[in-house]
Amino acid sequence: MNLTLYSHPLSSYCWKVLIALYENGTPFDTRMVNLGDPEAKAAFKTLWPTAKIPLLEDRGEVVPETSIMIEHIEQRYPGKVRLIPQDPHAQLNIRLWDRLFDLYVMAPMQRFIAQQLRPATERDMGIIADSLTELQNAYDMIEDRRGDHNWAAGESFSMADCAAAPALFYARMVAPFWSSHVNLAHYFDRLMARPSVRRVIAEARPYFHYFPLYHSIPAHFLSDVPETA
């Protein structure tokens, strides 16, 4: 197998790349990485210095950073679903929304959850409050600026949606959408119904009890029963 993905089933950034791989049925091997184990982390760090997951290897070539991984997969192993289309202007819009979801949804969501992993007395309430404000601002931006097309950057599913699905899945448990976020809520439902997204959720299910906000996971994500509503 050419591609190896160092990954963990609960990691939001790993979902981003897994969704891209699943969209086109791109073959790859997985290596589970447990960053909580200092020895495993030290070994992993020799591959790439940030020691962040996921990390992609293509026949020995290390490819870091999720957006670069998806661009790499698109260039070397293109499939039927074009996650980054040919048109340069459309590409810019996709990269813009990919950045917006990573920087303004994923990042504050991760900062909030990092605080939940600390003992209650050691949590930084300033970081918690700022993360919630940033998420509300990001939701407003998505509501107002994404437009009324089906996917993040237009009518076709793209790299931006690969970023959006895990970011919003976890963020929504940190900061629920407001009733005014109608467009965002519809977009979220569309993302969650996508087979590649359902698959990463199903694969994470046996690990969900390790997630600090486990009790905030909506029940329908905890079982494989198709949604009816």
Ligand X SMILES: N[C@@H](CCC(=O)N[C@@H](CS)C(=O)NCC(=O)O)C(=O)O
**In whole angstroms, how close is the CB of 173 to ligand X at the nearest point?**
15
* CA distance to 108, 147, 165, 191, per residue, from 131 (Å): 5, 25, 19, 23
Rounded-to-integer distance, Cα 212 and Cα 51, Å = 22
- Asked whether position 53 contacts ligand X by CB under 6 A, the answer is yes
**Complex with ligand X: residue 32 or 182, whichever CB lies closer:** 32
- Asked whether position 21 contacts ligand X by CB under 6 A, the answer is no
- Asked whether position 100 contacts ligand X by CB under 6 A, the answer is no
Q: Which residues touch 148 (CB under 8 Å, ≥6 apart)?
A: 183
Rounded-to-integer distance, Cα 177 and Cα 223, Å = 22
The 3-state DSSP class for residue 58 equals strand
**Complex with ligand X: residue 12 or 158, whichever CB lies closer:** 12
List the one residue from 6, 13, 170, 187 that touches ligand X (CB under 6 A): 13
- Asked whether position 151 contacts ligand X by CB under 6 A, the answer is no
**Complex with ligand X: residue 185 or 191, whichever CB lies closer:** 191
List the one residue from 5, 7, 11, 115 that touches ligand X (CB under 6 A): 11
Residue in the block written with tokens 């309430």: 125
- Asked whether position 20 contacts ligand X by CB under 6 A, the answer is no
CB 33 within 8 A of CB 10: no
Q: Which amino acid is at 136?
A: Q
**In whole angstroms, how close is the CB of 33 to ligand X at the nearest point?**
8
- Binding-residue total with ligand X (CB under 6 A): 8
CB 117 within 8 A of CB 174: no
- Asked whether position 7 contacts ligand X by CB under 6 A, the answer is no
List the one residue from 6, 9, 12, 113 that touches ligand X (CB under 6 A): 12
